[in-house]
Amino acid sequence: MKDILHVHSQDHRLQIFPGDVPDVDEAYASGAKRILSSNLVFQLANGTLVVKYVCVKDASAASFRARIHEVTALMSTCPYWLSPVGLFLKSGYLCIVMNKMTVMDTVAKAMRAQCKQMPDVVLATMLNDLLQGLKELEKQGLVHGDIKPPNILLDESFRVVICDFGSMAMQCKWSEYKELYGLCPHARCTVGYSLPNDIEHSGMFIGIWFDMLSAGLSALEVALGGKNPVFELPALDGFKLPEKGCAFTATLLNHPNLLQTLQEEGRLPKIQDAALRIVLQEMTKLNPELRISPAKALELLAPSVGDRQQVREFVEAVLKQS
């Protein structure tokens, strides 16, 4: 890990160094705001920096390799992937320092609290950015492996960027993936964002379509105000969250046109933009071989995309009232 960090240490984007950031115990003691309960992610007292602490003290070989992959991805020049301003080891933790960003999950939940619908043009514009990030993953022969709203951020210019590359892997056959990374893809991706059926054959090739389903479900979740689109189906009404997780696969497979079902049930406000509807439907196809590619999705979505000022105005208005 030290060697990998040293290779990237001269990058001009790295302007924050160990002395500028407290160790994880100091972050707790100082009352730094914890942003995500599932990870050690804190907003520092100065309000402009966020730090993700990843424990690597007793990391297994597979986990350590995952962190090396993550560091390599973070230092990519892709503008649609998280670009850190600090990256170093401190007190047994990998510290990923970034400028203050907005978590997509936060925006979605604020929408729900205010009963606000995201305009089609805003959703299309943000989805366009996400697809650009996935297109770059495909170009580099990679799979993110854990696309979901908490791993989708808005930077200071209100561009969508992908973060948390700890589950990233090379595109390869399922059998090779398991051998290289120790886990099959659906064991890495959070329940509710991938189908085990996608990789049920040992010879199956794990490609970008794995992330495309996760991205499509994430976009629908944002439109629903932070509610997982499959968990919102009437078949799971009354179920507790763990039960919904167990029933996720069977429930999704029973609803081949997820977007249409949600809208017919009145659970998702009608998406008027035809191109946006088509792209979301094609991203969430149950058959991975029929799922749309990032390049084709970008082509279809192009007429529906607005500008970042529209994204800014909507997001700022929602967060201001939260």
Looking at 119-133, 149-163, 183-197, 219-233, which range is the least confident one? 183-197
Per-residue pLDDT, 93: 93
Q: Which residues contact 49 (CB under 8 A, 6 or more apart)?
A: 16, 21, 43, 85, 86, 97, 98, 99, 100
Q: Is the pLDDT of residue 184 over 80?
A: no
What does the mean pLDDT of the chain come to?
Answer: 91
User: In a 10 Å sphere around its CB, with 0-12 CB exposed, 13-18 middle and 19+ buried, how is residue 204 labelled?
Assistant: middle
One-letter amino acid at 239 equals F
Q: Is the pLDDT of residue 282 over 80?
A: yes
Q: What is the CA radius of gyration of the chain?
A: 19
What is d(CA 157, CA 154) in angstroms, rounded to the nearest whole number?
A: 8
Q: Which residues contact 218 (CB under 8 A, 6 or more apart)?
A: 104, 130, 147, 148, 149, 152, 193
Percent of the chain with pLDDT strictly greater than 90:
71
Per-residue pLDDT, 247: 96
The secondary structure element, H or E, covering residue 86 is strand 86-90
**The CATH number of domain 2-99, selected from 2.60.40, 2.30.29, 3.30.200, 1.10.8:** 3.30.200
Q: How many residues does the chain have?
A: 322
Do the Cβ atoms of 133 and 78 come closer than 8 Å?
yes
Per-residue pLDDT, 81: 97
20-36 burial, b at 16+ Cβ within 10 Å, e below that, comes to ebbbbeebeeeebeebb
Domain with CATH 1.10.510.10 in the chain: 102-320
What is d(CA 52, CA 206) in angstroms, rounded to the nearest whole number?
A: 28
pLDDT in tens, 74-129: 999 999 999 999 999 999 999 999 998 999 999 999 999 999 999 999 999 999 99
> CA neighbours within 13 Å on the CB side: how many for 93?
20
Q: Which residues contact 148 (CB under 8 A, 6 or more apart)?
A: 189, 190, 192, 193, 214, 218, 221
Average pLDDT value for residue range 270-298: 96
Q: Is the pLDDT of residue 36 over 80?
A: no
Structure tokens at 30: 């100082």
**What CATH superfamily classification does 102-320 receive?**
Transferase(Phosphotransferase) domain 1 (1.10.510.10)
Residue the block writes with tokens 């084709």: 296
Q: Provide the pLDDT confidence category of residue 180 given band limits of 50, 70 and 90.
A: confident
What is d(CA 8, CA 88) in angstroms, rounded to the nearest whole number?
A: 10
What is d(CA 72, CA 303) in angstroms, rounded to the nearest whole number?
A: 34
Average pLDDT value for residue range 265-269: 91
pLDDT in tens, 196-244: 877 776 678 889 999 999 999 999 999 999 999 999 999 999 999 999 9
Per-residue pLDDT, 202: 66
Domain with CATH 3.30.200 in the chain: 2-99
Q: What is the pTM of this model?
A: 0.94
